[in-house]
Amino acid sequence: MTFSPELEARFEKMIGLYPPGRQKGALIPMLLYAQDETGRITDELIEEVSKRLSVNKVEVEEVLGYYTMLHREPRGRHHLQICTNVSCMLVGGEELWHHACHKLGIGNKQTTADGQFSLEEVECIGACSWAPAMIDNYDFHLRVTPESFDALIESLRQKQ
Protein backbone atom coordinates (compact mmCIF):
# COMPACT_ATOMS: atom_id res chain seq x y z
CA MET A 1 0.00 0.00 0.00
CA THR A 2 1.38 3.40 -0.93
CA PHE A 3 0.36 6.89 -0.03
CA SER A 4 0.89 10.27 -1.67
CA PRO A 5 4.54 11.37 -1.86
CA GLU A 6 3.85 14.08 0.75
CA LEU A 7 2.43 11.58 3.19
CA GLU A 8 5.22 9.09 2.52
CA ALA A 9 7.74 11.81 3.34
CA ARG A 10 5.83 12.69 6.47
CA PHE A 11 5.72 9.06 7.62
CA GLU A 12 9.39 8.59 7.05
CA LYS A 13 10.15 11.62 9.19
CA MET A 14 7.59 10.70 11.82
CA ILE A 15 9.11 7.36 12.72
CA GLY A 16 12.32 9.12 13.74
CA LEU A 17 10.52 11.42 16.17
CA TYR A 18 10.22 8.75 18.86
CA PRO A 19 12.97 7.05 20.87
CA PRO A 20 14.74 4.12 19.19
CA GLY A 21 12.59 1.01 19.32
CA ARG A 22 9.56 3.04 20.41
CA GLN A 23 8.30 3.94 16.93
CA LYS A 24 4.86 2.73 18.00
CA GLY A 25 4.51 6.31 19.24
CA ALA A 26 3.75 7.27 15.65
CA LEU A 27 0.72 4.95 15.53
CA ILE A 28 -2.14 7.35 16.22
CA PRO A 29 -0.86 10.26 14.10
CA MET A 30 -0.10 7.81 11.29
CA LEU A 31 -3.60 6.35 11.38
CA LEU A 32 -5.23 9.77 11.42
CA TYR A 33 -3.13 11.18 8.60
CA ALA A 34 -3.59 8.03 6.51
CA GLN A 35 -7.32 8.09 7.12
CA ASP A 36 -7.42 11.66 5.86
CA GLU A 37 -6.15 10.31 2.55
CA THR A 38 -7.96 7.00 2.32
CA GLY A 39 -11.26 8.19 3.77
CA ARG A 40 -11.46 5.44 6.38
CA ILE A 41 -9.43 2.79 8.16
CA THR A 42 -9.42 -0.30 6.00
CA ASP A 43 -8.05 -3.79 6.74
CA GLU A 44 -5.30 -3.08 4.26
CA LEU A 45 -4.36 0.10 6.09
CA ILE A 46 -4.24 -1.68 9.44
CA GLU A 47 -1.94 -4.29 7.92
CA GLU A 48 0.28 -1.63 6.36
CA VAL A 49 0.60 0.49 9.50
CA SER A 50 1.32 -2.53 11.68
CA LYS A 51 4.07 -3.55 9.26
CA ARG A 52 5.63 -0.10 9.10
CA LEU A 53 5.70 0.32 12.87
CA SER A 54 6.50 -3.33 13.66
CA VAL A 55 3.50 -3.70 15.90
CA ASN A 56 0.92 -6.42 16.08
CA LYS A 57 -2.30 -5.86 14.14
CA VAL A 58 -4.29 -6.18 17.33
CA GLU A 59 -2.36 -3.25 18.79
CA VAL A 60 -3.67 -1.17 15.89
CA GLU A 61 -7.22 -2.45 16.30
CA GLU A 62 -7.05 -1.73 20.01
CA VAL A 63 -6.66 2.00 19.48
CA LEU A 64 -9.31 2.11 16.75
CA GLY A 65 -12.01 1.35 19.27
CA TYR A 66 -10.82 4.09 21.57
CA TYR A 67 -10.30 7.22 19.49
CA THR A 68 -13.51 8.71 18.15
CA MET A 69 -11.90 10.36 15.14
CA LEU A 70 -10.66 7.04 13.76
CA HIS A 71 -13.34 5.18 11.86
CA ARG A 72 -13.62 2.04 9.80
CA GLU A 73 -16.91 2.84 8.12
CA PRO A 74 -17.04 5.36 5.27
CA ARG A 75 -18.26 8.87 5.99
CA GLY A 76 -19.60 11.62 3.78
CA ARG A 77 -17.23 13.75 1.74
CA HIS A 78 -18.11 16.46 4.22
CA HIS A 79 -18.20 15.12 7.75
CA LEU A 80 -20.14 17.73 9.69
CA GLN A 81 -19.51 17.70 13.43
CA ILE A 82 -21.86 19.80 15.49
CA CYS A 83 -21.08 20.56 19.10
CA THR A 84 -23.92 20.40 21.62
CA ASN A 85 -21.80 20.62 24.77
CA VAL A 86 -22.65 23.22 27.42
CA SER A 87 -21.27 26.43 25.88
CA CYS A 88 -22.86 25.62 22.52
CA MET A 89 -26.05 24.26 24.06
CA LEU A 90 -26.61 27.52 25.94
CA VAL A 91 -26.69 29.54 22.73
CA GLY A 92 -28.55 27.24 20.33
CA GLY A 93 -26.28 24.26 19.67
CA GLU A 94 -29.05 21.72 20.18
CA GLU A 95 -31.43 23.61 17.90
CA LEU A 96 -28.66 23.72 15.31
CA TRP A 97 -28.14 19.97 15.67
CA HIS A 98 -31.85 19.21 15.17
CA HIS A 99 -32.00 21.61 12.27
CA ALA A 100 -29.04 19.90 10.61
CA CYS A 101 -30.60 16.45 11.03
CA HIS A 102 -33.84 17.70 9.53
CA LYS A 103 -32.16 19.57 6.70
CA LEU A 104 -30.05 16.60 5.62
CA GLY A 105 -32.62 13.94 6.52
CA ILE A 106 -30.10 11.92 8.50
CA GLY A 107 -29.29 11.25 12.14
CA ASN A 108 -26.17 10.94 14.23
CA LYS A 109 -23.30 9.15 12.47
CA GLN A 110 -25.34 8.70 9.30
CA THR A 111 -24.50 9.64 5.73
CA THR A 112 -26.72 11.11 3.03
CA ALA A 113 -27.60 8.75 0.17
CA ASP A 114 -25.39 10.68 -2.28
CA GLY A 115 -22.40 10.28 0.05
CA GLN A 116 -21.97 14.04 0.23
CA PHE A 117 -22.63 14.68 3.93
CA SER A 118 -22.40 12.82 7.19
CA LEU A 119 -23.38 14.16 10.58
CA GLU A 120 -22.01 13.67 14.05
CA GLU A 121 -23.02 15.19 17.36
CA VAL A 122 -19.70 15.92 19.05
CA GLU A 123 -18.43 17.00 22.44
CA CYS A 124 -16.62 20.28 23.06
CA ILE A 125 -14.49 21.31 20.06
CA GLY A 126 -12.86 24.29 21.75
CA ALA A 127 -14.78 27.09 20.10
CA CYS A 128 -16.85 27.96 23.15
CA SER A 129 -16.48 31.73 23.06
CA TRP A 130 -17.70 31.74 19.45
CA ALA A 131 -20.54 29.26 19.90
CA PRO A 132 -22.50 27.55 18.51
CA ALA A 133 -19.75 25.94 16.51
CA MET A 134 -19.24 23.08 14.08
CA ILE A 135 -16.50 21.49 12.01
CA ASP A 136 -16.72 20.53 8.35
CA ASN A 137 -13.94 17.93 8.00
CA TYR A 138 -11.25 20.12 9.60
CA ASP A 139 -12.74 23.56 8.94
CA PHE A 140 -14.25 25.37 11.89
CA HIS A 141 -17.45 27.37 11.48
CA LEU A 142 -18.28 29.72 14.31
CA ARG A 143 -21.47 31.37 15.56
CA VAL A 144 -23.48 29.11 13.28
CA THR A 145 -27.20 29.76 12.86
CA PRO A 146 -29.72 27.52 11.07
CA GLU A 147 -29.61 30.03 8.21
CA SER A 148 -25.83 30.08 7.96
CA PHE A 149 -25.86 26.28 8.15
CA ASP A 150 -28.22 26.14 5.15
CA ALA A 151 -25.99 28.56 3.27
CA LEU A 152 -22.95 26.40 4.04
CA ILE A 153 -24.72 23.27 2.76
CA GLU A 154 -25.71 25.08 -0.44
CA SER A 155 -22.18 26.32 -1.05
CA LEU A 156 -20.70 22.86 -0.42
CA ARG A 157 -23.24 21.30 -2.80
CA GLN A 158 -22.39 23.80 -5.50
CA LYS A 159 -18.68 23.21 -5.13
CA GLN A 160 -19.34 19.59 -5.99
Determine phi and psi for 132, rounding to 5 degrees: -75, 150
Q: Which of 154, 79, 140, 152 has the alpha carbon at shortest distance from 109?
A: 79
What's the closest the beta carbon of residue 132 comes to another protein, in angstroms?
Answer: 10
**Interacting positions 39-78 with another protein (CB under 8 A):** 53, 55, 59, 62-63, 66-70
What's the closest the beta carbon of residue 114 comes to another protein, in angstroms?
Answer: 25
Question: What is d(CA 57, CA 59) in angstroms, rounded to the nearest whole number?
Answer: 5
For another protein, the closer CB: 90 or 105: 90
Question: What is d(CA 80, CA 139) in angstroms, rounded to the nearest whole number?
Answer: 9
Determine phi and psi for 118, rounding to 5 degrees: -130, 155
Contacting range for another protein; rule: CB under 8 A; set: 99-107, 111-119, 125-133, 148-156 = 125-133
Please answer whether residues 15 and 53 qualify as being in contact, where contact means their C-beta atoms are separated by less than 8 angstroms.
yes
Q: Does 15 bind another protein (CB under 8 A)?
A: no
Question: What is d(CA 113, CA 110) in angstroms, rounded to the nearest whole number?
Answer: 9
For another protein, the closer CB: 5 or 16: 16
* Size of site (CB under 8 A) for another protein: 45
Binding site for another protein (CB under 8 A): 17-19, 22, 24-29, 31-33, 53, 55, 59, 62-63, 66-70, 81, 84-87, 89-91, 123-131, 135, 138-140, 142
